[in-house]
Amino acid sequence: MKRYDCLKLLAPLVDEHMLTVTSLSSNTAFWSDLRREGVNFFGCNMGLCIPFALGLSAAFPRRKVIALDSDGSLMIDTSSLITVADVNPPNFVAIVMDNGSYARMGSTFTARKTDLEKIAQGAGIAKTGTVRGEEALAAAVKHALETSGPHFIVAKVEPDMVRVKGDPHRTYGRAMREWFLDAVRRHPDYQQARK
Amino acid sequence: MKRLDCLKVLAPLVDEHMLAVTSLSTNTPFWFTVRPQGPNFFALNMGLCLPFALGLSVAFPKRKIIAIDSDGSLMNDSSSLITVADVNPPNLVAFVMDNGSYAHMGPTFTTRRTDLAKMAQGAGIANTGTVGSLEEFSAAAKQAMESRGPTLIVAKVERDAGRVSADRSRTSGRPMREWFMDAVRHHPDYKGGR
């Protein structure tokens, strides 16, 4: 299963008012290619994707918030899963694209003994799954977006053959953050909260 | 089950050449009470007990290394479980004294949804268990000390009544570190500095 194909399946399921956060990996370049509009925060540094999405899920309780994390990133701070379990946000969906490898450092622990779904269960997240095929992924994501969470899905994908870079003006640094904040300001729930 | 009773059971299983590491909690004064001599590193800051013990387990492969950690500390860096699973040191025995509470901040997540033994299994540590009575603790500790690890045992203990302090010149700061380094230098397996 290829990461890009997974994200392609996911994009039409995400409506314009849902919020997404991506980790610093090819998730960023791929997702920015597939979902150009809406509230997207791209390229969270390692370990920070799920915590950032958790904050957004508290700020936008009526919308699904989707964390597109990756194995190397999540394993920097698996304790964030404990916080997710404890806050227990019904609108939180984490999808971990697990390719079993770091971008430049060889294989990760998930290629050997580590099972991220089991760690999430141990942390206390009840709704978890691991998927290895596109159909299973589509079904899991649809279910997660339609039902109360938090949800945690591990998608086992192949290592990406090439490194891909997104448009830096949309996926990186101050320019990305300004796009993000602009989208947040235009979000209907944000406007209501201000009134 | 009381924490001090567990550590009293554990102490006689730890011989003079094994190395022990404690987290910043009542583990420190209690362990100092039951094992004042031998290589002990006391009161590692939150999240650092298990990683420090992992390093010692690599440095002293012929000896059991005992991490006496606690729930609040381990949850500060549960990813260290992944590193332990991956390094897979046969001589590491970790005890997590889980009283479900921080010293000064109320209950921890283990009183609600979090299961640390399950997280350790997910990380990839095969030998894990949770014990709730002194008999179970004693049996699990004996087995862990006699078999190949890494082993992680979560001991569900009561909250300590009142804070206990130990001789600070032995359990904190530079004097503690000097005691520890001195014990390491006198250890039969120690091959000297660089």
More confident site: A123 or B191: A123
Confidence (pLDDT) at B193: 65
Confidence (pLDDT) at A167: 83
Residues of B in contact with A115 (CB under 8 A): 121-122, 124
Does B192 map to a domain?
no
Confidence (pLDDT) at B192: 77
- Using CB atoms within 10 Å of the CB of residue A105, give its burial: 0 to 12 exposed, 13 to 18 middle, 19+ buried: exposed
Question: CA-nearest residue of chain B to A82?
Answer: B114
Confidence (pLDDT) at A60: 97
Number of domains in chain B: 1
Confidence (pLDDT) at B166: 79
Return the minimum-mean-pLDDT range out of A62-66, A169-173, B21-25, B122-126.
A169-173
> What would the two tokens of residue B57 be?
């387990």
Cβ of A124 within 8 Å of Cβ of B79? The answer is no
> What would the two tokens of residue B37 be?
């001599």
Question: CA-nearest residue of chain A to B123?
Answer: A114
pLDDT digit string, tens, across residues A27-57: 999 999 999 999 999 999 999 999 999 999 9
Does B190 map to a domain?
no
Of A77, A82, A115, the CB nearest to B122: A115
Q: CB-based contact (8 Å) between A119 and chain B?
A: yes
A48, A87, A114, A152, best to mutate vs chain B, most B CBs in 10 Å: A114
- Taken in order of first residue, the domains within chain A and their CATH numbers are 3-194 (3.40.50.970)
Q: CB-based contact (8 Å) between B87 and chain A?
A: no
User: Per residue in B151-169, is it b (16+ CB within 10 Å) or e — as a string?
Assistant: bbbbbbbeebeeeeebeee
Does B120 map to a domain?
yes
Cβ of A82 within 8 Å of Cβ of B123? The answer is no
Mean pLDDT value across residues B19-36: 95
> What would the two tokens of residue A172 be?
């990186």
Does B194 map to a domain?
no
pLDDT band for B105, please (50, 70, 90 cuts). Answer: confident
Give the ipTM. 0.91
Structural domain range at position B93: 3-185
Q: CB-based contact (8 Å) between B78 and chain A?
A: yes
Residues of B in contact with A123 (CB under 8 A): 78, 109, 113-114, 119
pLDDT band for B185, please (50, 70, 90 cuts). Answer: very high
Mean pLDDT value across residues B164-187: 91
Question: What's the CATH code of the domain at B14?
Answer: 3.40.50.970
Confidence (pLDDT) at B168: 84
Of A125-139, B100-114, B155-169, highest mean pLDDT: A125-139
Q: CB-based contact (8 Å) between A116 and chain B?
A: yes
* CA gap B93, B57 in Å, rounded: 9
Does B78 map to a domain?
yes
Q: CB-based contact (8 Å) between B77 and chain A?
A: yes
| Whole-prediction pTM | 0.93
What value does the mean pLDDT of chain A take? 94
